[in-house]
Structure 1
Amino acid sequence: MSKAMSWLRRSRVLVGAYGVIYACVLALMPCPGFAFDAQRSQADQVVHFGILPIGSAAESRKQWQPLLDDLATQLGHPVSAISVSSYAGLSSAIGDQRVDIAFLSGRLAIEAVLKQRMGVVAQFVRTDGALGNVGMLVVRGDGPIRSVADLLASPGRWRYARGEPLSVTGYVAPEAEVFAPRGLNSDTFFASVHIGNHQNNMLAVVNKEVDIATSNNPDLDLFTRNFPREASQLKVIWRSTTIPCGVLVIREGMPEPLRSQLITFMREYGKGSDAAAASERAKLALVPDLAGFDAADSRVLKPFVDMEYTLLRLQAKNGRWVSEQARDTRLHQIESQYLQTLAALQP
């Protein structure tokens, strides 16, 4: 039995996807947010850096710490890392005004921009030059599921482990590209649905606690480095279309010149040609697939909005409604929310 089994002993939660959808990020509208306390001395300002967990929270913090140490030195301000174990935990930290700048993926970033008064300032650049990541469905290589066709042929048979509703690769992508186009909903298609991070879900597949799990290429690469024996037992049966890389968001109202200094540091880190830049690139490489950050604004979030919009429309069209009028009303609402969201992402 795997030494990592103890990581998996927790309550299993069955989540209704339709309850999630009605709370989805496309319905989020701007609300009053936090502004920095103008009375605080900038010399005493602690910069709180939120980190989207890849692997465990502790591991993510360790990966980012050398970069954050350089950031603290450059700014002349202490930098505190906020790395939590879940997407929802990071979203809550941002909403509670405990995060000043953060590395986020699509749904979290959209929520931060639309509801939590954050703005996109840069986008993650991969070491391989790819424009984004891909979501995956993984199974045991020696198991009965050999393909998506095998998976779909037996509704109600398999046990599924997926990510939180805020996870693009852990929930939105497979739902939008595998299940919803076929009129299916993963929360009713499977015998059971368990919610967890990618690492624990893949361990659950290896240990035969579930039959199939969601993942993505950065998390699978990290899993392979940390658990090579377990990773060798996995097989990828589906890959999503390319999903844009994560982004850096910064809180509106952050005082100058600290805000500009912070943005400049992140955008320029590791991009020189001298020995210092080479050292910076080595520190960037500690974070899976990270080569640096390029300037960007909130418009880079449009592909995530489009994917969410597609999923909502498919689920509305294939859902059970008391009347065609009720269905059409829902479709009109989705369309209206989509257009409002796109408008809100304009700089």
Structure 2
Amino acid sequence: MRRCVLRAAWRCTLAAALGWQAAAALAQSLRAEPPPAIRFGVLPVGGAIESRGNWTPLLNDLSRALGRPVSVLSVTSYESLAQALRRDDVDFALLSAKLALDDVAERRMNVVAQVARVDGLPDSRAVLLARKTGAHNSLKELLARPERWRLARGDSRSVSGFIVPQLQLFLPNGIAMETRFQSEIVDTHQATALAVANGDADVATNNTIDFERFRQQFPAEADRLHVIWQSEPIPPAVFVMRRAHPLALQKKLQDFLVDYGRTKGPRGDGEREVLKSLHAPFGYVAADNTALLAAAELDYQLAKRRALAAKWVNAEARAARLERIERSHAEQVAVLRDGRP
């Protein structure tokens, strides 16, 4: 009898201990910190609030797919976004090809996707916009007397707003964008187009995709403008993610972007509407760092043309500069081709 009582007491004690452990485990799980937010960075074409609103539906869907919150950092300048990337304040971002190239070459970020291109449809190109009427409205006059024109352009890291017009049009005609114009405004594509439409500038750099967006948002102002020059196709913007994140998370983000808008039915219809609002009607495709090879070539050609056009104290100094450009380009290409990062 005594043995039975002891056995029963032992069982009660064991059950109590196990129950306490389960309760402790549950309490610990409840106290555990939620997973940190994934921070998305983007440079808005218009205002930061407008950009955040456009991206919110896709980022909400991404949050559900990843099982963790996603926040957005919408800044107003290339430099602000570049600083956020350097401080690791951004986990993934949609960047211009040049801005992405700088961060991938420094081994901070990996390319995971880019905007889909469709055979038979025109690629994005850089353009110059001028007013249809007025004293300054032709490319011939612009190239002949740039010092009489007021320029509105993008940041020096903008492919369509600076790099391609400088490389493919202005430098071949002996014009440096930074020094030859009467004045200049440096701003977003929306702001530069508005500057010309409202008479605050005579010519603006832009691109075909953003000018089409501008037509939809500002039809009256767009009707005052015309394209006086357009470039060869330009490299598309790309999505990048910090290398510090596990490859599994990078792959999950890539799969989400590639699959977005591909399903049939109401959900897919809603996603495709979101993509249209983001001016990516055909969605996104998987990409890796080699997607930036075209941007690296543009960067190389621009640096080389500038070096050849500059004045040097002697031939040796110019040769040294050209040798550094060649070495830097080779290093960039090696990083981009270095397998799956």
TM-score by length of 2: 0.85
Decide which structure has the larger Cα Rg and report it. Answer: 2
Q: Retained in 1: the 8 A contact 2:109–2:243?
A: yes
Q: CA deviation at 1:188?
A: 1.9
Does the 8 A contact of 1:201 with 1:213 survive in 2? Answer: yes
User: Residue 134 of structure 2 aligns with which residue?
Assistant: 143
Q: Write the mapping of 1:202-241 to structure 2, written as runs, cut at 5 A.
A: 202-241=193-232
**C-alpha distance in 2, partners of 1:131/1:299?**
22
Equivalences for residues 215-294 of structure 1 within 5 A: 215-255=206-246, 257-294=248-285
Separation in structure 2 between the aligned mates of residue 282 and residue 169 of structure 1, nearest angstrom:
26
Q: How does 1:28-39 map to 2 (within 5 A)?
A: none
Task: Name the CA distance, whole Å, in 1 between partners of 2:333 and 2:70.
Answer: 33
Please say which of residues 121-130 and 67-76 is displaced more in the overlay: 121-130
Q: Which has the higher contact order (CA 8 A, sep 6+)?
A: 1
| Residue of structure 1 equivalent to 2:45 | 54
Distance 1:128 1:140, change over 3 A: farther
1:84-163 matches, cutoff 5 A: 84-115=75-106, 117-126=108-117, 130=121, 132-163=123-154
Q: 2:322 and 2:211 mapped to 1: Cα distance?
A: 36
Consecutive unaligned residues of structure 1, counting only runs of 5 or more, are 1-40
Shift of 1:55: 2.0
1:88 to partner: Cα distance: 1.6
Name stretches of at least 5 consecutive residues in structure 2 with no aligned partner. Answer: 1-31
| Cα drift, residue 211 of structure 1 | 0.9
TM-score, reference length from structure 1: 0.84
Could you tell me which amino acid in structure 1 is paired with residue 154 of structure 2?
Answer: G
8 Å Cα contact 2:117-2:282 kept in structure 1: yes
Residue aligning to 1:342: 333
Residue in 1 that maps onto 2:8: none
Partner of 2:61: 70
Deviation at 1:116, TM superposition (A): 5.5
Q: Give the structure 2 partner of residue 11 of structure 1.
A: none
The aligned residue for residue 168 of structure 1 is: 159
C-alpha RMSD of matched pairs (Å): 1.9
Q: Is the 8 A contact 1:49 1:80 kept in 2?
A: yes
